[in-house]
Amino acid sequence: MTKYNHQTKILIAADCIIFGFDGRQLKLLLVQRALEPEAGKWSLVGGFVQPEESLGQAASRVLHKLTGLSDVYLEELSTFSEPTRDPVERTVSVAYFALIDINKYKQQITTDYHAEWFDLNKFPKLIFDHQEMVEKAKARLRYKAAFHPILFELLPAKFTLPQLQSLYEEVYNIEMDKRNFSRKILSMHLLEKLDEKDKENSKKGAWFYKLNKKKYKANFHSVATIIPNPDIYYS
Amino acid sequence: MTKYNHQTKILIAADCIIFGFDGRQLKLLLVQRALEPEAGKWSLVGGFVQPEESLGQAASRVLHKLTGLSDVYLEELSTFSEPTRDPVERTVSVAYFALIDINKYKQQITTDYHAEWFDLNKFPKLIFDHQEMVEKAKARLRYKAAFHPILFELLPAKFTLPQLQSLYEEVYNIEMDKRNFSRKILSMHLLEKLDEKDKENSKKGAWFYKLNKKKYKANFHSVATIIPNPDIYYS
DNA sequence: TCAAAAGTGTTTAAAGTACACCCATGA
DNA sequence: TCATGGGTGTACTTTAAACACTTTTGA
């Protein structure tokens, strides 16, 4: 069959912006780049798209290789395609952002990477346009989480309302009223109260909740205004 | 400098889903494909990314070449990258959706394309996965327009409230109360009433409005719930 | 017994929704 | 003069926001 002759072929990479939450702060998982150039510099984890895989599969593969995790929340953010963004050779990158439970991340023994969690407000200079990717991912996370219940993805299977509230407060850098917060969250009917308390963070202990996965999936696209004045966050 | 050896390079294309509104229905601008294979079949307009341009520039170029328009609302939708989506040769496509004033589209005399507007609810079978791109663009348009005032992009510079309402009703396939609609739209303070009436569509005539571009740009990312129950529309 | 965090209800304000009549005009 | 579409206001309901005290318990 005819080929598309005289057209330029380009390297394509998938890069992942991986978010985590340690109970206090939002974190970003970065790796020390193995390839030249810039070997040893901090970067997002990424890899070239292989002949037999789609971009989403490439992102999943890269994420799995680093963290050992599958079934992770992974969303296409956007493409980065300035011709000179990679000084070695033209590479178009498709950025994905991932939300993972930070406790689940176990560095693979046979990893090629040195990986580390950094505070999202203070992380090292990154290679190429990775800084811009992180900024865009942060904006997207804020935008999306203002309407969709995706922040659960950053918490363990069992979590408390105060933990969840801290997460929202951290993501949006605001303080929220716990009475209004719990009413709003519980009115979505996505959470089930367990008869177990978290005694680590207070004497009285806070009830654990878990996601009702069925309802979560069914209502995943539902829109709720979780955050006051979501105007501020855009995408 | 070292190159990234042994990595697969891939063709990259930008495809545009171009929406218009004729006053009654949403329209889709399609072209008859010039290239083999599938020459003569209907498809989205698109083109391969050139060495010196970004993906966004490629999309703008393709759109400009077809319509003669610049400064068009153009938003990256997502990538389409199944290895076998193009039977000739692997091509990753980045889909963009565009909103244009249908009256402004003048087919270029020297076009390579035969282009035509189709009703969004009834258009021919498209090549490859272009059908899927259109569906995704439609969903994104509904999602985005439920919160952001982007539908103005589909109207002429001067338009009336009844026209705008028809557009919303068409996009969401709902009927809206004109009193509530005008109150909500005007409360955004994005529109300026002109002292001129559209007498084409009624005897009494409806006042023309125009966008206050300054406020429009400033508030572009603002979030307003223009549509009741936006739950239904997602992205 | 007290310090620290968890849990809970009510009142008020704002936003959204439903609804019906008069107006201007050309045919 | 009448048929057609344009324009406007009000009452009601729902939702969001502000706000303070009691409970539990480990140290």
Distance in angstroms (rounded) separating the CA atoms of residues A96 and B229: 29
Is A4 among the domain residues? Answer: no
Q: What is the CATH number of the domain that holds B226?
A: 1.10.10.10
Within this chain, do residues A51 and A138 fall inside the same structural domain, yes or no? yes
Within this chain, do residues B195 and B223 fall inside the same structural domain, yes or no? yes
Is A5 among the domain residues? Answer: no
pLDDT-above-70 percentage for chain B: 90
Q: Which of B101, B172, B92 is nearest to B133 (CA)?
A: B92
Is B5 among the domain residues? Answer: no
Within this chain, do residues A128 and A199 fall inside the same structural domain, yes or no? no
Residue after which a domain boundary falls, among B101, B123, B142: B142
Helix (H, G, I), strand (E, B) or coil at A1: coil
CB-side neighbour CA atoms (13 Å) of A227: 27
User: What residues approach strand D to within 7 A at the CB?
Assistant: A 177-180, 184, 199, 203-205, 224-225, 228-229; B 160-162, 178-180, 182-183, 197, 201-207
Distance in angstroms (rounded) separating the CA atoms of residues A131 and A122: 12
Report residue A156 as tokens.
Answer: 């363990």
Within this chain, do residues A41 and A128 fall inside the same structural domain, yes or no? yes
Helices (H), chain A: 55-67, 130-145, 161-172, 178-186, 213-218
Contact B10 A8 (CB under 8 A): no
Asked if the model's pLDDT at residue A109 lies above 50, the reply is no
Is B42 among the domain residues? Answer: yes
Within this chain, do residues B19 and B81 fall inside the same structural domain, yes or no? yes
CA separation (Å) from B4 to A12, A133, B11, B220? Answer: 11, 22, 17, 41
| Segments of chain B scoring below 70 in pLDDT | 1, 106-112, 222, 224-225, 227-235
Within this chain, do residues A172 and A216 fall inside the same structural domain, yes or no? yes
pLDDT of residue A108: 55
Q: Closest chain A residue to B84 measured between Cα atoms?
A: A52
Within this chain, do residues B133 and B39 fall inside the same structural domain, yes or no? yes
Residue after which a domain boundary falls, among A117, A142, A167: A142
Q: What is the pLDDT of residues B83-127, one digit of tens each?
A: 999 999 999 999 999 999 999 986 554 456 789 999 999 999 999
- All residues of chain A having their beta carbon less than 8 Å from the beta carbon of residue B222 are 231, 234
Within this chain, do residues B37 and B121 fall inside the same structural domain, yes or no? yes
Q: How many domains does chain A have?
A: 2
Is B75 among the domain residues? Answer: yes
CB-side neighbour CA atoms (13 Å) of A42: 15
Within this chain, do residues A163 and A98 fall inside the same structural domain, yes or no? no
Residue after which a domain boundary falls, among A107, A142, A177: A142
Residue B73 near residue B154 (C-beta atoms within 8 A)? no
Protein CA at B232 to nucleotide C1' at D4, angstroms: 34
Q: Is the dihedral of CA A116, A121, A123, A126 positive or negative?
A: positive
Is A155 among the domain residues? Answer: yes
What predicted TM-score, i.e. pTM, was given to this entire model? 0.93
- Full residue range of the structural domain in which residue B229 is found: 149-234
Banded model confidence at residue A235, pLDDT cuts 50, 70, 90: very low
Q: Is B186 on the interface with A (CB under 8 A)?
A: no
Burial of residue B64 (number of CB atoms within 10 Å: 0-12, 13-18, 19+)? middle
Asked if the model's pLDDT at residue A70 lies above 60, the reply is yes
CB-side neighbour CA atoms (13 Å) of A82: 10
Q: What is the CATH number of the domain that holds A78?
A: 3.90.79.10
Within this chain, do residues A122 and A204 fall inside the same structural domain, yes or no? no
pLDDT-above-90 percentage for chain A: 79
Protein CA at B162 to nucleotide C1' at D6, angstroms: 8
